[in-house]
Structures are given as structure tokens and as C-alpha cells.
Amino acid sequence: ELYDAALTIAREGGYRPFEGYLLLMTSDELRDEGRIEAALARCEQALVVLHDVRNARHEGAALSLRGDLLAQLRRFDEARASLQAGEAILRKVGDQHALVRLLCVRGHAEAAAGSSGAAREALAAAEALAGQSGVLPESEPGRALTALREALA
């Protein structure tokens, strides 16, 4: 696989920031393939590297992905903790689009946990932030908002 080859090169070359990014991307790909446990393991590796290299933006995104994966595994308390940590980081670095996506992940996680009120609060927060930051409907955070709206309808 292409990611694995790139990951090997990054590790052998000692380029840790790229290694962390690749670990995050492969975790996302594994999730999309439905390999949730493998995705979580790869995401945990990404978090260690991204934290070590002080890549806060991608660390926040990784915590969001981790929260999504944990929620899919029905480990809701851990998912909430991961999303809370990711939210704090993304607010600090000012990545509003990633924060909109995280809030949508939170909405889906809360809905899966049976907390419809918290899911709707997450949707409202995501919509408000999307409006403030000019999120376009066809963008990734815009599509995440649409999916959450449909899920909660």
C-alpha cells in the first residue's frame, strides 16, 4: 500500500511530522474500510507522534477521529473525553473548520449514545461556528453538517 511505503520512508528518514500525518491518514482510511479496531490502534500511534512533534492542529484532528472510533465501538465516555480534548486544542489553534467537523462527530456520538439533547446541542454549536467561519455546504465540514442534520431529522 502506498501509505505504508511512505510511512516506512518517513520513519527511516526520521521525519516525524510526516510520520504522524501519515499515521492519521491511514487511520482515517482504515475507518472508511470499516476496520475500526485497526483504525483506533493506528490513531493512537498518530497521537503519540503528533504530540511529540507538537503538531497541535493535527493532534486535535486525531483526537476527533479517535472520538469517532471510540463512539463506533460504543465506548462513549472515552469518546467524549477524546472529543473534549480535541475541541480544546482546535479552539486554541483556531482551526474552525476542523472544530465544525469535531462538533459533528460529537453530535453523531451523542446520538449513538442515546443523548438526543446533547446531539442537538452539538449540531447547534457546529451550525453557529460554520456560519461565523463561512463554511460552504460542499466543503468537508459542510458535508459533515448536512450528514448530522439528516441523522438527527
pLDDT in tens, 49-72: 999 999 999 999 999 999 999 999
Instruction: Indicate the residue type of 30.
Output: L
Q: What is the pTM of this model?
A: 0.93
pLDDT in tens, 113-131: 999 999 999 999 999 999 9
pLDDT in tens, 8-46: 888 888 888 999 999 999 999 999 999 999 999 999 999
Name the residue among 63, 66, 113 with its Cα closest to residue 91. 63
pLDDT reading at 1 higher than 80: no
CB 135 within 8 A of CB 100: yes
CA–CA separation, 133 vs 145, rounded Å?
Answer: 13
Q: What is the pLDDT of residue 37?
A: 98
- Over residues 91-111, the mean pLDDT reads 97
Q: What is the pLDDT of residue 113?
A: 97
All three cell numbers of 126, joined, read 457546529
CA–CA separation, 82 vs 96, rounded Å?
Answer: 18
